[in-house]
Amino acid sequence: MEISKKENSAFLFLHCDLYSLEAIYNAAYSFLDKVYIFFSKESSKKIKIKLKAKEKREEKEIEILAGNFLNEVINTGLREMIYKENKNIGKIMLGAALLSSSRNLQEEVRKKKEENDNNSSHEKSNEDPLGIAVPWEEKYEK
């Protein structure tokens, strides 16, 4: 890491073998409110990152900011690795949940259909044998 007090900046050189480009971009995103970030390719395996503070800062503050940036690169890289390792587990869990939900839904639909079939057969046999459901106007119309 190289710090330039004159430019209010820190220069970082990251090896692509150690850090993925996605991890670097994710880390950079969380620092956009504090610094301007410039990327350049030093070689096929090395990226140069310039962190230029948006406000005038002391050299020590810039060094801390650059250190925090490097920590965030490691943090996002680790999260990326964990995601890649566990994404199949998540897919399996989601699939199992959807399948279980689908089976439960199918069972509920089947039960409701049976209830409706049973209710409709009872309704036909008990349609109003006492004539209670006849409207008053029809029953007493004269």
pLDDT tens, N- to C-terminus, the chain (142 residues):
666 667 889 999 999 888 889 999 999 999 999 999 999 998 888 999 999 999 999 989 999 999 999 999 999 999 999 988 888 887 888 888 877 777 777 777 788 888 777 766 555 555 676 767 777 787 787 6
Domain-embedded: residue 48: yes
Domain-embedded: residue 38: yes
Number of domains the chain contains: 1
Q: Which domain holds residue 14?
A: 2-81
Counted residue by residue, the chain has a size of 142
Domain-embedded: residue 134: no
Domain-embedded: residue 115: no
Domain-embedded: residue 28: yes
Domain-embedded: residue 88: no
Domain-embedded: residue 24: yes
Domain-embedded: residue 119: no
What CATH number has the domain bearing residue 54?
3.30.70.60
pLDDT at 131: 67
The model carries a pTM of 0.61
